[in-house]
Structure 1
Amino acid sequence: MNLDPPDFSYFMHDGLRLAYFDEGDAAGEPVLLIHGFASSASVNWVYPGWLKTLGDAGYRVIAIDNRGHGKSDKPHDPEAYHVPLMASDAAALLDHLGLPDAHVMGYSMGARISAFLALGHPHRVRSLIFGGLGIGLIDGVGDWDPIADALLASSIEDVTHERGKMFRAFADQTKSDRLALAACIRTSRDPISAEEIGRVDVPALIAVGTKDDIAGSPQALAALMRDARALDIPNRDHMLAVGDRVFKKAALDFYAEIAAA
């Protein structure tokens, strides 16, 4: 299995045409991957090697392009991007594929979507892996309005906010719809309370780079959950942690441990 993007398919949900891929062993345990803000299924999961890693290990690998991203429809109304709506897209994909449940892995915004999926549709989630999001799931991940402003700037040269410039460059690199992303970032930070996350009872792995200045502590989040463990991804920031070998090995070990139990 190589690192080229696979063929994408489409389904309709909430009036939107949404893209996904479904690869690997059709008889394998399903893993649903949910990418981060300004990314896509290919950028988050194919190019960094996750599709290959999970596929080679015998899993059925499913990944959605979130609304506003990748090959999916891209509404420009911020009200379309509240996280429970994006979580309902993921649940609808499982319905579309006839799957009662799956292991769910999300990165950054995708981890937040995964958490809402586990809260709103608990019977659909076998386990959770949160990448690039720790206690920021509860406490918030800072002021992201400057990122929306950076996405709407006429040129990246006009952007002075450091994090805004980083995400603007990422959006330009991925040839994203910047109006859709600006709408998304304004409403996709719906909070979850400590009490709510404490109700999640499936096994969870929370993996954050030690140089990540966005995610917040994975240990602090794990302490709020019933069956969670934290993983420090050494010397990786928010952008580079996603494809790290330590992260991939920990994920495979986590799934093997669940299977053995």
Structure 2
Amino acid sequence: MKSFTSFDGVEIRYRQWNSRAKGVPVILQHGYIANARVNWILPGIVFRLTITGHRVIALDARGHGRSDRPHDTASYGESRMAQDISCLIDELGLEEVDLVGYSMGATVALLAAAEDKRIRRLIIGGIGAHTLSLGGSHHGQVKKKLAAALLATNRRSIKHPALLAFRLFADFMRADRNAMAAQALAFHSKKIPFERITNPTLIIAGRNDPLAIHPEKLQAALPDAQLCITPGNHTTALMSLRFKSALVKFLG
């Protein structure tokens, strides 16, 4: 993996395929606790993009994978990860990119598209109507409970099934749980400026994904968005043939 130093000194790792391919490069941003390998390589998404002639770049978000893992909350949040994407575009000297984000990475992608005009097309997956309610007062308690679950000494003390699922996934990934807790506390909780995201956008949601409920409401909030419903839940939707086919078709 290659690396670059982002705007605040955090080292970000990334991989690249088909670096000499013509056309607009595709940047892939994974979800929370995952990494580029788990979300993009293993499900075959990188393979599908490269065999159709795309230049592909996939980064490990700060705190994830092989990127730096600071433990202070001030180093995290999707807004900072969006800045990392802009720094990566600078690092590679790209004039225009297509950006794909999943779950946490979808929020990152939306924030990046609102600020960086070098992003041409946008594909977001694994999120739904809850993204419209960011900025509400209830998010603070949710973030604290998730951070506590990630840092709990004994997993048996975690009673809420969703919180336990995040903790089990972190343990399975051998993630830095202190870094994951810091990101949990820094999860984006301000209103996203959807009106500024004029990019042609594709929303992909798994039919049984509890984190992507009512994606049609998210579609309605974006000026130029299409919606694709795929088989699967939050994890398996990435593996579906429909996900890959929709991705490739939209990118052209």
TM-score, with structure 1 as normaliser: 0.89
Measured in 2, the distance between the counterparts of 1:65 and 1:119 equals 21
Q: Deviations over 1:82-111 (max 9, x none)?
A: 222110001101111111221000000000
Measured in 2, the distance between the counterparts of 1:199 and 1:157 equals 44
**Match for residue 210 of structure 2?**
213
**Match for residue 198 of structure 2?**
201
Q: How much identity, in percent, do the aligned residues show?
A: 37
**Match for residue 81 of structure 2?**
86
Give ranges in structure 1 of 5+ residues lacking alignment. Answer: 1-7, 257-261
Contact 2:79 2:188 in 1 (8 A): no
**Number of residue pairs aligned between Structure 1 and Structure 2:** 245
Which of 99, 108, 113 is the matching residue for 1:104?
A: 99
Deviation of residue 146 (structure 1)?
2.6
**Pairing 1:223–2:217 present:** no
Measured in 2, the distance between the counterparts of 1:154 and 1:34 equals 30
- Bigger drift between 16-25 and 87-96 goes to 16-25
- Bigger drift between 43-52 and 147-156 goes to 147-156
**Pairing 1:34–2:29 present:** yes
**Pairing 1:172–2:171 present:** yes
**Match for residue 259 of structure 1?**
none
Give ranges in structure 2 of 5+ residues lacking alignment. Answer: none
Q: Deviations over 1:35-86 (max 9, x none)?
A: 1000111111111111101111110110111001000001111121122211
Q: Which one-letter code corresponds to 1:85 in the other structure?
A: R
Measured in 1, the distance between the counterparts of 2:18 and 2:159 equals 43
**Match for residue 246 of structure 2?**
250
Contact 1:12 1:18 in 2 (8 A): yes
Kindly report structure 1 stretches of 4+ aligned residues shifted beyond 6 Å: none
* SS of match in other structure, 1:216: coil
Aligned in 2, Cα 1:244/1:192: closer, same or farther, shift over 3 Å?
Answer: farther
**Match for residue 159 of structure 2?**
160
Measured in 2, the distance between the counterparts of 1:59 and 1:248 equals 13
RMSD, matched Cα:
1.5
TM-score, with structure 2 as normaliser: 0.92
Which of 111, 136, 140 is the matching residue for 2:130?
A: 136
